[in-house]
Structure 1
Amino acid sequence: MRRALAELNFSGVLALLRSAAGLTQQQMADLVPGWSKTKVARAESGERGTLYDIRELLAWADALCVPREALLPLVLGTPDAVYPPQDPREGDELDRRTFNGGMLALTAWPLLPDGFLSPGRIGRTHVDYLQTCADELWTRDWSVGGASLLRNGLRLFARAKAMLDESDYDERIGLDLLRATADLGNCTSFLAFDSGERSLARRLAQEAAMLADSGDDSELRAHVHATVAMQSTALARSSGQRGPAREALRSLRIAAQAAKHHPSPRLHALIDMRTATVSALLGDAATARASIAAAHRELDRGDHPTDRQALGFVRRSEIMGHEARVTALLGDPTRAAKLLERVLDTMELAPRNQVYYRAMLAEMRLAAGDTAEALEVGHRTLSDLENVGSMRALRTLQPLARRDAEFHDRYGTIASDLSTKVASLA
């Protein structure tokens, strides 16, 4: 896409996006106000007067949720052109030597172009396109991490909410639009969580939960409340307070009730894994171990056609990773490290999860008293974080940064780089 923009190959730009989104020419026309199938065909044939008109290009980009900043290769004539990230707290600089969560505040950012108007009437194509975007965000996160995707997720979620609130649609389309919006909110919440923006993540997850509760989709509702539980568990671990952990259990009970009659093994395994972690955090070893065993049994049932694409990461390795966390919380970091080594030896981990579990391994090695091994694993993790934007994984390495000056400095550099990623369109 960047290369096509730099070469002013607008027919290629249009065809590339249409193909990636799985749209027909008619469906593309349905998304752009004032367009017809004939106009799409003319644009893809390279006819002048279509996207060569800057007003038409911007209208097309806005309708398809393409960030205007992504069009910069067109202006500068090079596919490597990137938008210079701006810190909304002008004049402030991130102190590379502090580890207290100096991420950027996102809530004041403009997410939609000035003068944005939702489509007057929403049809099936609009909903399907939003769901395609949500599915792509979920799967891309497994490869590149949340920091590279967060702002685009926020932009899409804002677009979907505006359509839900302001546009016209029939009852069936409205219900599906609500579900797609909830899924986008859930996904963007996880992206924020992985980016280290926990307050933003919780607000997004709570909003997604309110939408999902009205969406008449048991799997989506269960998935969203499992996300809320995950974030509450993380808050309980970082704060040392029991209240958020009990909040997580309440969310997991809602998730389990919603999923009670749903056939998806991955969904039930997800709920079991997260129940195991929070139970261990509360000192309930029996429930924690029983929940890990239940998660394994769920995957014994095999795949199911109803498994959501967003749950593709729920595999044996993921259960083993949760078992390692449970083992550490129950007081055995040495055994937890051995479990994580087995997890990392599997071939099924996505890049982002691999980085996160390697960071956990360094954490467990340090907790077990093997500082030298922890530093070796930690440095490898920092190298991985140059390509995978996960502040969650980086923060797992904070204890190491306090132990070693060289690691401390390198950690600070990566923290600054990840903060910049969150501020950019990546």
Structure 2
Amino acid sequence: MREALARLDLGAVVSLLRAAAGLTQADMAELVPGWTKTKVTRIETGERATLFDIRELFAWADAVAMPREALLPLILGRADAALDVGNSRALEDGSMDRRTFNTAAVGVAAGLMLPAEPTAASQVPARVDSAHIRYLKSCLDGLWTMDWSAGGVSLLRQATALLTRAKAMLEESDYTQLVGRQLQALTGGLGVCGGFIAFDAGEQPLARRLLGESVLLASGTGDAVLNAHAYLTMALQSTALARVSGQKGLAREALRFLDLADEHARHEPSPRLHALIATRRAVAAALLGDELASRHAITRARRELDRGLHEADPHWLGFVTGAEITGHEACAQIDLGRPAAGIVLYQQVLDDRELPARNRAFYAARLSTSLLAEGDVPGAVAQARTVLPVLEGPVKSVRTLNELRRVRDASADDDFSGRFDTIAASMATE
């Protein structure tokens, strides 16, 4: 799509987005006010140059919830164009040439076109139908897939924008009873996704608010998997906060959330869903010092996963694998005061070549802090160094960065500390 934008092939842009979302030309026409199937066909075949009118282009981008930053390749004529303010220090020391600086300046100017709020009521369709539902579902699945590779900081704005738009559609648009139930479930799903992304981005109050909203939305849908997912994610945040604060009440809260997830999921056939509930229970139990319950939960998780793939497994559960269970087991061992056992288990996790990029970075960071807990400061710093290039590049996860903070504080390596601080400052301003 970036290449199509850079060469001004707007027909291909529409066609690519439509195909990626699994929509027909009639579906695309339903998404954009005033469009017809014939108009979509003529745009895609190049017979109609409507989108070269900037107002029409923005209307289309807003209708499909495309961030306007995504149009930068069209403005700059480069497929790799991205909105980046640039770096004045790089210009001063000569590592950024004048052309690159000018490109960055144009990017800043383009940023002035961005709306103050990513989604506005003006973007809400008067009537929501099945095409809107399929498109929102595609957006939600795409967010989960990108999260496995990108991390929360990169996706938070888009996730909250999609959630805001879905909530406005739920409140303001007309729809049938069936479409209304589907829209409420999707809005709840976007709330869970946005809540997890905010959690990974280090925005804990926002994460708790979004997850609380998702529970309320899910409760009115009768969707057992959605309800379980909402409580699973709330439990994940509670255990993370319990570990940082040392408050056992938060670990007990996590177990209550997991009991609710279990209750909703009890008749669901998805092995991965039950495996995830069990793995998160293992960590919460370990935080309370209950070794027997933790070990039993890990055993249950592995038995569930041994049942194999099931057609009822939702898309967002794609990350639940044997390595993920081992990662939870490692975490539980460390919470039980056995960092040496955790080190061995984290090394096993990192041997899995299929591990998603964000999760690999997180578990590599956890291995580093496990080495630190064993008193191996040089080993911890060496391991942490393997994570920094990933955080400097594609994975923007404050949760992962925070795992390394204790290593940074214990390190006497100025280069490592400086790189850590630069990454932390960068994530704080994105």
TM-score (structure 1 length as normaliser): 0.91
Q: Give the length in aligned residue pairs.
A: 399
Instruction: Measure the CA separation in 1 of the matches of 2:190 and 2:201.
Output: 16
Structure 1 runs (4+) deviating above 6 angstroms are none
The match for 1:381 is 387
* Residue from 314, 331, 334 that aligns with 2:320: 314
Shift of 1:49: 4.1
Superimposed CA distance per residue, residues 209-236 of structure 1 (whole angstroms, 9 cap, x where no aligned partner): 1111111110111011100111111111
- In the alignment, what sits opposite 1:51? 51
Q: Could you tell me whether the CA contact under 8 Å between 1:42 and 1:50 is conserved in 2?
A: no
**Conservation of the 8 A alpha-carbon contact between 1:317 and 1:348:** no
Contact 1:229 1:251 in 2 (8 A): yes
Q: CA deviation at 1:2?
A: 2.2
On the 8 A contact 2:191/2:210 being kept in 1, the answer is yes
1:151 to 147, 157, 162: 157
* Alpha-carbon distance between aligned partners in 2 of 1:111 and 1:182, rounded to the nearest angstrom: 21
Matched ranges for 1:54-69 at <5 A: 54-69=54-69
The aligned counterpart of 1:304 is: 310
Moved more, 164-173 or 242-251: 242-251
> What displacement does 1:419 show?
2.8
- Does residue 414 (structure 1) correspond to residue 414 (structure 2)? The answer is no
RCO comparison, higher one (Cα < 8 Å, 6+): 1
8 Å CA contact 1:112–1:155 kept in 2: the answer is yes
Equivalent residue number for residue 41 of structure 1: 41
Q: Percent identity?
A: 51
**Counterpart selection for 1:201 from 176, 183, 207:** 207
Deviates more, 1:260-269 or 1:238-247: 238-247
Counterpart of 1:91?
Answer: none
> Residues of 2 paired with 1:325 and 1:73: CA distance?
43
Letter in 2 for 1:154: T
Contact 1:400–1:407 (CA under 8 A) maintained in structure 2: no
1:110/1:308 CA distance change after superposition, 3 Å:
farther
Tell whether the 8 Å contact from 1:193 to 1:231 is kept in structure 2 after alignment. Answer: yes
Rounded Cα–Cα distance in structure 1 between residues aligned with 2:308 and 2:46:
48
Distance 2:9 2:358 in 1: 33
Are residues 1:368 and 2:377 paired? no
Structure 1 counterpart of 2:131, one-letter code: T
* TM-superposed deviation, 1:381: 0.8
Residues 331, 113 of structure 1: alpha-carbon distance in 2 compared, 3 angstrom cutoff = closer
Distance (whole Å) between structure 2 residues aligned to residue 180 and residue 201 of structure 1: 18
1:399 to 2:406 alignment: yes
Deviation at 1:391, TM superposition (A): 1.2
Give the partner amino acid of 1:112: P
Q: 1:120-170 CA deviation, whole Å, 9 max, x = no partner?
A: 111011011101100111011111222211111111111101101111111
Work out the CA distance in 2 between the residues paired with 1:325 and 1:222.
Answer: 22
For residues 2-401 of structure 1, what are the structure 2 equivalents within 5 Å? 2-84=2-84, 110-113=116-119, 116-386=122-392, 387-401=394-408
| Amino acid aligned to 1:410 | R
1:274 Cα offset (Å): 0.7
Structure having the higher helix fraction is 2
Is contact 1:111-1:158 (8 Å) kept? no
C-alpha distance in 2 between matches for 1:340 and 1:155: 35
**CA distance in structure 1 between the partners assigned to 2:343 and 2:270 by the alignment:** 30
Of 354-363 and 49-58, the range deviating more from structure 2:
49-58
**In structure 1, what residue type is equivalent to 2:418?**
D
Distance 2:219 2:175 in 1: 20
Q: Is the 8 A contact 2:23 2:134 kept in 1?
A: no
Partner of 2:90: none
Shift of 1:113: 4.9
Other structure's SS at 2:319 match: coil
Supply the RMSD in Å over aligned alpha carbons: 1.5
| 1:183-230 deviation line (CA, Å, top 9, x unaligned) | 111111111111111111111111111111111110111011100111
Who is 1:104 aligned against?
none
Mapped to 2, the partners of 1:354 and 1:37 lie a distance apart of 44
Shift of 1:26: 0.7
String of CA shifts for 1:74-128, please: whole Å, max 9, x gaps.
2233333322469xxxxxxxxxxxxxxxxxxxxxx94435562411111011011
Aligned AA (2:167): K
Q: Gapped runs of 5+ residues in structure 2?
A: 87-114
8 Å contact from structure 1 (residues 363, 399) kept in 2 = yes
Cα distance, 1:247 vs structure 2:
1.5
1:48, distance to aligned residue in structure 2 (A): 3.9
Q: What are the ranges of 5 or more consecutive residues in structure 1 without an aligned counterpart?
A: 87-108
The letter for the 1-side match of 2:60 is: W
Output the TM-score relative to the length of structure 2: 0.90
Task: Report the counterpart of residue 105 of structure 2 in structure 1.
Answer: none
User: Can you list the C-alpha shifts for 1:390-417, whole angstroms capped at 9, x where unaligned?
Assistant: 1111110011111223321111111122
- Asked if the contact 1:111–1:154 (Cα under 8 Å) also holds between the matched residues in 2, the reply is no
How far has the Cα of 1:362 moved from its partner?
A: 0.3
Residues 120 and 165, structure 2, Cα contact 8 Å, conserved in 1: no
**Residue 41 of structure 1 aligns to which amino acid in structure 2?**
T
SS of alignment partner, residue 122 of structure 2: coil
